């Protein structure tokens, strides 16, 4: 069976499995200064394995997508008004929607903070 005919998720899983123990490829990934360098190394590995993955496939499919975010020092999880990264699938690159301003400061929630946000008291 030709691996290039498999769904993207399975091809990425094959690439990840192939990277396990691939010393030279892992060293090349570690030397990359940013996510774009990692994508180039991973595209080359994909080509050598005959997986036919594109740049877009790598940038949108976990876990490689998460590795690239980590290398670019982007948060994997954002807290506050933005959605966690894993909820942003399909929406990367779009600006976050802004929340509507409260109509009246006096009608705001009494537990709300300075800017009308709820206070976080912990997980327990």
Rounded CA separation 1/115 (Å): 58
- Does pLDDT of 3 surpass 50? yes
Phi, psi of 79 (to 5 degrees): -120, 135
Are 25 and 16 spatial neighbours (Cβ–Cβ below 8 Å)? no
Query: Mapping DSSP to helix (H, G, I), strand (E, B) and coil, where does residue 116 land?
Result: coil
Rounded CA separation 58/5 (Å): 16
pTM above 0.75, yes or no: no
Of 5, 2, 11, 17, the closest CA to residue 56 belongs to: 11
- Does pLDDT of 88 surpass 80? no
Mind listing the pLDDT tens digit for each residue in 26-59?
A: 999 999 988 899 999 999 999 999 999 999 999 8
Rounded CA separation 111/124 (Å): 18
């Amino acid at each position: 069976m030709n691996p290039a005919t498999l769904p993207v998720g399975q091809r990425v899983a094959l690439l990840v499995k192939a990277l396990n123990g691939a010393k030279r490829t892992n060293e090349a990934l570690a030397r990359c200064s940013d996510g774009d360098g990692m994508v180039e190394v991973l595209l080359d590995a994909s080509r050598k394995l005959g997986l036919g993955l594109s740049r877009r496939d790598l940038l949108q499919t976990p876990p490689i997508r998460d590795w690239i975010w980590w290398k670019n020092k982007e948060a994997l999880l954002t807290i506050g008004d933005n959605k966690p990264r894993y909820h942003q699938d399909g929406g990367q690159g779009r600006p976050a929607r802004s929340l509507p301003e409260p109509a009246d400061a006096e009608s705001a929630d009494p537990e709300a903070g300075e800017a009308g946000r709820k206070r976080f008291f912990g997980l327990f």
